[in-house]
């Protein structure tokens, strides 16, 4: 019986904790160190993704332009349609994949209001850079794509994504 007493005490202590999460106080010095470590870790991720993107572009011989958010794009067909402005509603058809070619979405169509970042920052900025009718490759680092969380469905966290923009058209309602 004496052998089981310590186990019973541990069981009662653990049962008494319930679902309460213990609060850990972080001293200011540790907090600063933690922030610095997180910043450094993010720098490593960003640099690693930049190296991966550079290799991807080199292997494909793509010359790209850079968007303000840091994503790169290669317009392979210039559209002759109207300029896209903030608050315009557009219909975009695209394929979405990882840098290694793993497909996430093979025929995705979204109706978006430009400037509201309804999908990704990179796609939103690209739409403002191209006229309707354009076709382009968009290479988006994870921080301009689905970030740490992924898209909650097919795109994993911290994934560089490649959009193949097949069509961009302004949305026209059939309502009179």
**Domain for residue 10, yes or no?**
no
**Domain for residue 60, yes or no?**
yes
Q: How many CB atoms lie within 10 A of CB 175?
A: 4
**Domain for residue 24, yes or no?**
no
Residues 6+ apart with CB under 8 A from 127: 84, 90, 92, 112, 114, 168
pLDDT of residue 167: 96
Residue 12: pLDDT band with limits 50, 70, 90: very low
Nearest to 56 by CA among 145, 136, 160: 160
Q: How many domains does the chain have?
A: 1
pLDDT of residue 25: 55
* Strand (E) or helix (H) holding 37: helix 28-60
pLDDT of residue 117: 83
Q: How far is CA 81 from CA 64, 78, 90, 144, in A?
A: 21, 9, 12, 26
The CATH number of the domain holding residue 128 is: 3.10.50.40
Domain that holds residue 51: 32-170
pLDDT of residue 71: 97
Nearest to 110 by CA among 62, 67, 151, 78: 151
Residue 152 CA to residue 149 CA, distance in Å, equals 7
**Domain for residue 36, yes or no?**
yes
Q: How far is CA 16 from CA 11, 21, 48, in A?
A: 8, 12, 45
Please state which of the ranges 21-25, 53-57, 84-88 shows the lowest mean pLDDT.
21-25
What mean pLDDT comes out for the span 137-159?
94
Query: What pTM value is reported for the model?
Result: 0.78
**Domain for residue 1, yes or no?**
no
Our separate counts of H helices and E strands in the chain read 3, 6
119 DSSP 8-state letter: S
**Domain for residue 27, yes or no?**
no
**Three-class secondary structure of residue 161 per DSSP:** strand
**Domain for residue 4, yes or no?**
no
**Domain for residue 153, yes or no?**
yes
pLDDT tens profile 58-67: 999 999 999 9
């Amino acid at each position: 019986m004496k052998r089981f007493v310590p186990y019973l005490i541990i069981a009662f202590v653990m049962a008494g904790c319930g679902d309460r999460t213990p609060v850990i106080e972080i001293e200011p010095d540790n907090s600063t160190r933690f922030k610095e470590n997180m910043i450094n870790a993010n720098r490593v991720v960003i640099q690693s993704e930049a190296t991966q993107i550079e290799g991807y572009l080199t292997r494909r011989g793509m010359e790209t332009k850079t968007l303000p958010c840091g994503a790169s794009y290669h317009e392979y067909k210039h559209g002759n349609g109207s300029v896209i402005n903030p608050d315009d509603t557009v219909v975009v058809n695209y394929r979405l994949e990882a840098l290694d070619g793993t497909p996430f979405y093979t025929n995705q169509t979204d109706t978006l209001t430009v400037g509201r970042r309804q999908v990704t920052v990179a796609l939103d900025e690209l739409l403002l850079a191209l006229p309707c009718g354009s076709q382009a490759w968009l290479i988006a680092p994870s921080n301009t794509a689905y970030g740490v969380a992924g898209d909650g469905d097919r795109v994993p966290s911290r994934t560089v994504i490649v959009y193949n923009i097949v069509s961009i058209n302004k949305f026209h309602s059939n309502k009179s």
